[in-house]
Amino acid sequence: MLYGFTDVGTVNTPGQPYLLQMFYLFTTVDFICLLFGLVSAVPLWRLRRSGLLLCNLLFGFELLFLTIGAALPASFIDSSNQVLRGVSSSIAGASGIGDIGLAPQYVTAYPVIALIALNVAYRKLHATERRGAL
């Protein structure tokens, strides 16, 4: 039993010994990204530069997390070290079930599209404001 829930056999899977920990890690990162996105929405809605900076940090982190999450299991899956192989197979297993919050964004390439669109829109907005102020 884990916090009142029954164990469904994912804790001690021999091929993925750290599956539960990776699931919690992915779920926590997804939740933190959600909170960070909500916090950055307020200054972005008010067209403040801090909102653009926060969104750039958020989407940059999401892209970095995607890259590391894809490269790490691929690089250590054939390792002779049991711990590295267990971690990489656990990351691969948990990415399908624990990373469900960011998965739709990765499939649609939302972080890349959002980074480009926000920065282009911000530059055009300030170019228009500068022309209007002259």
CA 50 vs CA 13, 28, 53, 55, 134: distances in Å: 45, 24, 5, 9, 24
Radius of gyration of the chain (CA): 20
d(CA 126, CA 48) in angstroms, rounded, equals 11
- The separation between CA 23 and the C-alpha centre of its own chain, rounded to angstroms, equals 13
Q: Residue 11's pLDDT is what?
A: 52
What percent of the chain is modeled with pLDDT above 90? 43
Instruction: Decide: 130 and 56 in contact? Cβ < 8 Å.
Output: no
Where do the domains of the chain lie?
Answer: 19-133
- Residue 34, C-beta contacts closer than 8 angstroms, at least 6 positions apart: 101
Type of residue found at 99: D
Q: Is the per-residue pLDDT at 90 higher than 60?
A: yes
Q: Is the per-residue pLDDT at 4 higher than 50?
A: no
Q: Residue 134's pLDDT is what?
A: 58
Averaged confidence pLDDT in the chain:
84
Higher-scoring residue by pLDDT: 78, 133: 78
> Predicted confidence band at 50 (pLDDT cuts at 50, 70, 90)?
very high
Q: Is residue 2 helix, strand or coil?
A: strand
Q: Is the per-residue pLDDT at 133 higher than 90?
A: no
